Every structure is written in C-alpha cells, then in structure tokens.
C-alpha cells in the first residue's frame, strides 16, 4: 500500500463530523494526559530510567553545562536524572571502597578533563586498602559554591552505599542570608541561591527540619509547583531536559567530553584595586560568626553521612595566595585576609571541638601557575598533588 493511502484514500471519506470528533477526542486525550501527569507525577520514576551505566557509560561527574551543544552536558535541577546518569549509580563492586566527593567547581573540575580531576587522579593511581578493597572515588562535585547544595547532593548520594565522604570546602560556600543591615543592604547568601537548591524544595526543607538548619524553609526563592506546573505542559522543560540528557549520552560516550574547554581564559586575578579591597561580599571586617556562616549545614552533612555509616573527611580547599598589588590586604579575588583568617581559625577550632576530620590544605599549593581562571581552580598537575594528599588522608581514615 502506498505510504499515504490510509490518509488520502480512506475506506469512509472524512466528513465534518469526523473532523470535529477527531479534534474533540484529541483535546480530551490531551487534557486527560495532562491531568494524569499532574496526579501521578511520573517524572521521578521516569528520571531514574537512564541510558547511562547501560547503553552509555555513566558520567564521571554530574551533568552541568551552559553550552550543551559544545559540552554535551546540560544543567538541570532533576536530582534523580542527574544521579541516574552518573557512574555512581552503577552497582557497587564487592571489593570496592566507595568514596564520594562532594564540593564546588574545584571538586567538579572546572577546565579539567574527567581523568584530571581529584577523583580521576585518585582512581588512576589505583589505591587499595589493607583488606584488599580498591579505593574508588566518585566525583559528585557541582560547580556552584554553596554548602546547602553540597548537603543536598550528599543527602541524595547516601543511597549509593558510600564507605566515606570527602568534602572539600572553602569560605565562599559558607555565607548565609540574613536581614540586611546598615552598610550592607544586600544580603550575601550562598545557601539558597543555587537553582538546584531552589528547585528541590522538598528535600531541602526536609534537611532544614531534620537538622534544625538556620535556613528559612519558606524562603520565596523556593520553587513550589502548582497543579498547573505539574501537568505535562508545566513539566515540558523538565521532560525535555531529561530527554536531552539521555541523548547527550551518545556524545559523552563517543568523546568523553562533558564541558567546554576554551582555548584561552582569563587567569585568576593577581592585583586588586583599592576600591572594595577589604570587602568580603557585602561585609567589611567583622567576626564571621555562625549567624553569618553556615557551619550548621556543615555539621548536618557530617551527621547525615555518619547516619549512613560513612565518615566525612573535610578538606579546606587550596587557594591562590597573591603577591600582587594589595596582597597584604587580600589573599585573592574571593577573600580579604581578615575574612579568610577568621574563617580558617573558626573551621580549625570547630573541627577540633567536634572531632571532625579536617585536612587543611588552604596553602598547600603555591605558585600562581598552579591556578587557572580562579583562585580555587587548579591545573591538572596541582590537582594531582592535592589528590595525593587527600588519598593519603582517605587511606589513613579508612584504616582507622
């Protein structure tokens, strides 16, 4: 039968009644599908279906990308889909000592290929424990600086049976929202600003409640879905993102590329103008107390991992220490000295007081050439040095 005969030569000619019935049924079916989608909410279940770890290898890091056509990776807020696409979702081997790394872009590996990241270099080194278990590190970093975002990912990742969690942190992830005050009209918040946090209000509120976090569960930035938002039409972007993530599996598998590697970039800042040189965000020199920094989120993460039987190794991330103009006032583009020194002292003090394992690497990497486009982004070689130090601490903690 020629291809279009069913349409052009139907057994019964189409008439107006037929056309109207088709239109009415199509509309009814469409409305029904939307209603069913809103009521059944199949997106989480659908999101756990993934071509990764099956047809395509699991991604070495969480999908993130602002230029998907070039990075074969996209930013999405669907935790189920993000994790289902990650290699951590593959079954745990019997002889595997599973170490999950959470953190910011330094952990995720900005400008680094997957094999050049902290986890990539630890895995390449092939560490084993005394009992014969192979250390297998998973990169669950996400290139946004926020402890709450780290906690959200850590919480989700506990289902993947970690034996240990490594959590590199830096001061920039700590600031929390607070009422604006004179001299600082804008609140410098790093906890609820990431879209990933705002679009996952359920899990974040649960964490706020469970660990008594000093974050506002009714913050207006949380995106709570209305009934309309839950329909097929409302969820079309989420569905399209899920589909695109699956389709990029082919490109990821073929190329091993998951971010854009620019030929050139602006190097981290060395000299600092006088204007605002003493400011940390919107703050002038003052004690960085717990109402300003979210140590409670850090505490919650350690507790959450502990509940799953995974000790946490905190790492105070290495950072660039400038020797340029105004470097006596400022370490780097992120931090004036007063702020970082205060944070540093508090972190060490708190770790000692609470029995947290802290690997303090803040000044472990020297030389401006070790940093790329920001004060916390390392070159592959410098990342290798840091990975050796972290691996040493991981092995030590694992044997305890």
Partner 1 sequence: MTLTHIVVFVVLALLCGALVRGRGRGWLLMGASVVAVYWLQPALRIPYLDFAFPAITLALAVVVWAVTRAGDQPVTREDGAALGVTAALVLALAATRCLDLDTAAWWSPTAARPPDLPSVALALAALGIGAVLPALLGGRRPWVRGAMVIFIIALFAVMKTGPLAQTAAGAVRQLAGRDPALASATDLGWLGFSYVAFRLLHTLRDRITGKLPALSLREYLTYVIFFPAVTAGPIDRAERFVRDVRALPDLPGLEASRMVQGGARIVIGVFKKFVIADSLALAALNPAIAAQTGSTLWTWALLYGYAFQLFFDFSGYTDIAIGIGMLFGVKLPENFDRPYLKTNITAFWQNWHKTLSDWVRFYVFMPISRNLMMRERKPPLLLIVLAAQMATMIVIGLWHGVTVNFVIWGVWHGAGLFVHKVWTDRTRKWYRGLDEKPWLKRAWAAAGVLLTFHFVTLSWVWFALPDFDSALDVFLRLFGV
Residue among 186, 218, 226, 255 that touches partner 1 (CB under 8 A): 255
Backbone angles phi, psi at 248, to 5 degrees: -70, -10
Q: Which of 16, 126, 274, 328 binds partner 1 (CB under 8 A)?
A: 16
The answer to whether 188 touches 281, Cβ cutoff 8 Å, is yes
Q: Is 273 in the site for partner 1 (CB under 8 A)?
A: no
* Contact of 65 with 73, CB cutoff 8 Å: yes
Q: Which is nearer to partner 1, 255 or 264 (CB)?
A: 255
Cβ closest to partner 1, residue 7 vs residue 94: 7
Is the CB of 256 or the CB of 367 nearer to partner 1?
A: 256
Q: Minimal distance in Å, beta carbon 19 to partner 1?
A: 5
CA distance 144 to 196: 9
Contact code string over 280-319 relative to partner 1, x by CB under 8 A = ----------------------------------------
Which tokens is 167 given?
A: 């959590």
Instruction: Please select the residue that binds partner 1; options are 221, 244, 337, 344, rule is CB under 8 A.
Output: 244
Number of residues that bind partner 1 (CB under 8 A): 27
Return phi, psi of residue 327, to 5°: -70, -10
Restricted to residues 129-148, the positions that interact with partner 1 (CB under 8 A) are: none
List 1, 2, 11, 291, residue binding partner 1 (CB under 8 A): 2
Chain positions 51 to 70 lying near partner 1, rule: CB under 8 A, are 68, 70
Q: Which is nearer to partner 1, 129 or 257 (CB)?
A: 257
- Residue 40 tokens read as 């059944």
* Of the candidate residues 5, 13, 274, 399, the single one contacting partner 1 (CB under 8 A): 13
Residue the block writes with tokens 């070790």: 370
Comparison of 4 and 181: residue with beta carbon closer to partner 1? 4
Q: Does 251 bind partner 1 (CB under 8 A)?
A: yes
Query: Least distance (Å) from partner 1 to the CB of residue 240?
Result: 9
Q: Does 248 bind partner 1 (CB under 8 A)?
A: yes
Neighbours of 124 (CB within 10 A): 13
Residue 4 found at the interface with partner 1 (CB under 8 A): yes
Rounded to a whole number of angstroms, the minimum distance from the CB of residue 59 to partner 1 is 15
The residues binding partner 1 (CB under 8 A) are: 2-4, 7-8, 13-19, 22, 68, 70, 72, 243-244, 247-251, 253-255, 257
């Amino acid at each position: 039968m020629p291809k279009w005969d069913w349409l052009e030569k139907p057994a019964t000619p189409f008439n107006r009644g037929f056309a109207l019935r088709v239109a009415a049924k199509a509309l009814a079916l469409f409305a029904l599908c939307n209603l069913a989608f809103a009521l059944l909410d199949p997106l989480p279940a659908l999101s756990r279906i993934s071509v990764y770890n099956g047809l395509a290898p699991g991604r070495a890091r969480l999908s993130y990308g602002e230029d998907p056509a070039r990075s074969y990776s996209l930013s999405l807020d669907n935790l189920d889909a993000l994790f289902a696409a990650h290699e951590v979702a593959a079954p745990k081997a019997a002889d595997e000592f599973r170490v999950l790394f959470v953190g910011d872009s330094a952990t995720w590996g900005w400008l680094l290929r997957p094999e050049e990241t902290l986890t990539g270099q630890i895995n390449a080194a092939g560490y084993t424990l005394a009992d014969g278990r192979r250390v297998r590190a998973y990169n669950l970093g996400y290139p946004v600086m926020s402890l709450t975002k780290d906690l959200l990912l850590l919480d989700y990742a506990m289902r993947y049976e970690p034996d240990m969690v490594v959590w590199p942190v830096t001061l920039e992830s700590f600031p929390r929202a607070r009422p604006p005050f004179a001299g600082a009209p804008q609140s410098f918040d790093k906890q609820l600003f990431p879209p990933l946090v705002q679009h996952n209000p359920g899990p974040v509120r649960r964490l706020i409640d469970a660990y008594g976090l000093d974050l506002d569960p009714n913050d207006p930035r949380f995106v709570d879905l209305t009934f309309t938002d839950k329909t097929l039409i409302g969820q079309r972007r989420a569905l399209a993102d899920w589909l695109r993530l699956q389709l990029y599996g082919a490109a990821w598998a073929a190329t091993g590329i998951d971010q854009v590697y620019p030929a050139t970039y602006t190097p981290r800042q060395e000299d600092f103008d006088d204007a605002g040189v003493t400011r940390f965000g919107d703050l002038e020199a003052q004690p960085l107390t717990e109402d300003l920094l979210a140590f409670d989120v850090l505490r919650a993460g350690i507790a959450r991992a502990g509940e799953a039987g995974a000790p946490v190794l905190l790492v105070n991330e290495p950072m660039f220490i400038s020797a340029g103009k105004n470097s006596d006032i400022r370490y780097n583009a992120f931090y004036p000295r007063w702020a970082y020194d205060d944070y540093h002292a508090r972190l060490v003090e708190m770790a000692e007081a609470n029995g947290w394992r802290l690997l303090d690497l803040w000044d472990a990497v020297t030389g401006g050439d070790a940093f790329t486009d920001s004060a916390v982004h390392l070159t592959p070689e410098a990342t290798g040095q840091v990975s050796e130090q972290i691996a040493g601490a991981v092995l030590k903690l694992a044997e305890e």
